[in-house]
Amino acid sequence: MGSVSESASGQAVVVYGAYGHTGRFVVAELLDRGFVPVLSGRDPERLRELAASCPGLDVRPASVDDPGSLDRALAGAAAVINAAGPFAVTAAPVIEAALRAGIPYVDVAAEIEANLDTFTDFAERARAANALVVPAMAFFGGLGDLLVTAAMGDWTSADEVHIAYGLSGWHPTAGTRVAGAVSRDRRDGRRVRYSGGRLEYHDDALPTLKWSFPDPMGTREVIGEFSMADIVTVPSHLAIPEVRGYMAADAARELSAPDTPAPVAVGEDGRSAQTFVVDVVVRAGGAERRAVARGRDIYAVSAPLAVEAVERVLTGRTRTVGVASAGAAFDATDFLEALAGHIDFELFR
């Protein structure tokens, strides 16, 4: 875990969607690091219930349909973390409010189209305001982008990158299911991939392949062309024309099954027993570089990713302004090493 600097500790950070599954992990991580979470979201009753377990924290209900309520929610805060999906609905209004407040914005969006909208709609305005907007600062989108960036090292371009997700299982949250439905509707049920330097929508059947994950996962059946937010974050700043994703087949089947239950906590920290290995392979010419991350609970690990990002923004450890992915905004290798308490990170060059 990154250390809390004096300039960051004690600052107020609004968590929009604080009572959601990932939002609760974000609140806990902020508290652990000495920040003061401000609890916000659309449902006043759920906010009050959460506040009962977090005595002393400010509660500020806000609706994305009411800009004034968002302004009141962000008043006096140092930053905002948006953990409320579907981000196709929440991202733009909360970014607008962050720009009005003059504070950095971070979200945990996994929705491909919502992240693309953020880059498309806010790049110029955020840059002109000297503001930083970091979308997809989560397990999907952020972690993959950091791993790819770290693996690239001093390479300025590559031919292809492969991002393989070895999940021991996938019990989706209600938010994941809603976000997935929104994305499917937006692309008319088609699938999407990044090939030839651009996004392609297609109806092709996804291939089933074998992937040799590092220990302890080993060789697993995976679904090829299983695209996540990495196909937006990676090409936003790296010259790689082929960005290919893979998902452990068992996990993909659990995600798509309507009767798969939500995640269940197995300890006091609220995390599930799910484990993951993310294996990234970058190829250029005849050379290959690799980065690997291992950990537990894809939802819980999004919290330290998002909070580490906020801490780095507030302490001036950033590389750019505007809308930026994790790998563009931060020193990727240093960022991943700072999460040693949450993610085991290995780099092979």
Q: Where are the domains of the chain?
A: 12-138+302-334, 140-298
* CB distance 7 to 345 below 8 Å: no
The DSSP H or E segment spanning 40 is strand 36-41
Catalogue the long-range contacts made by 337-344 (C-beta closer than 8 Å, 24 or more residues apart): 338/1, 338/2, 338/308, 339/1, 339/2, 339/304, 339/305, 339/308, 340/1, 341/1, 341/304, 342/1, 342/295, 342/301, 342/304, 343/143, 343/293, 343/294, 343/295, 343/301, 343/304, 344/293, 344/294, 344/295
The domains spanning 12-138+302-334 and 140-298 adopt the same CATH topology: no
Specify the pLDDT at position 154: 96
Nearest Cα to Cα of residue 332 among 151, 160, 162, 161: 151
Top CATH class of 12-138+302-334 equals: alpha beta
The CATH architecture assigned to 140-298 reads 2-Layer Sandwich (3.30)
* Torsions phi, psi for 164 (to 5 deg): -110, 125
**Cβ neighbours of residue 66 closer than 8 Å, sequence gap 6 or more:** none
Among residues 88, 93, 68, which one has the least CA distance to residue 16?
A: 93
Q: What is the DSSP string of 224-252?
A: ET---THHHHTTTTSB-SEEEEEEEHHHH
pLDDT at 9: 74
293 dihedral zone (left: phi>0; alpha: psi -120 to 50; beta): beta
Q: Which of 210, 262, 261, 183 is CA-nearest to residue 20?
A: 262
Tens of pLDDT along the chain (349 residues)?
333 444 577 999 999 999 999 999 999 999 999 999 999 999 999 999 999 999 999 999 999 999 999 999 999 999 999 999 999 999 999 999 999 999 999 999 999 999 999 999 999 999 999 999 999 999 999 999 999 999 999 999 999 999 999 999 999 999 999 999 999 899 998 999 999 999 999 999 999 999 999 988 899 999 999 999 999 999 999 999 999 999 999 999 999 999 999 999 998 899 999 999 999 999 999 999 999 999 999 999 999 999 999 999 999 999 999 999 999 999 999 999 999 999 999 999 8
CA-to-CA separations, 305 to 1, 172, 253, 286, in angstroms, rounded: 10, 19, 26, 33
Q: Which pLDDT does position 267 carry in this prediction?
A: 87
**pLDDT for the residue 7:** 55
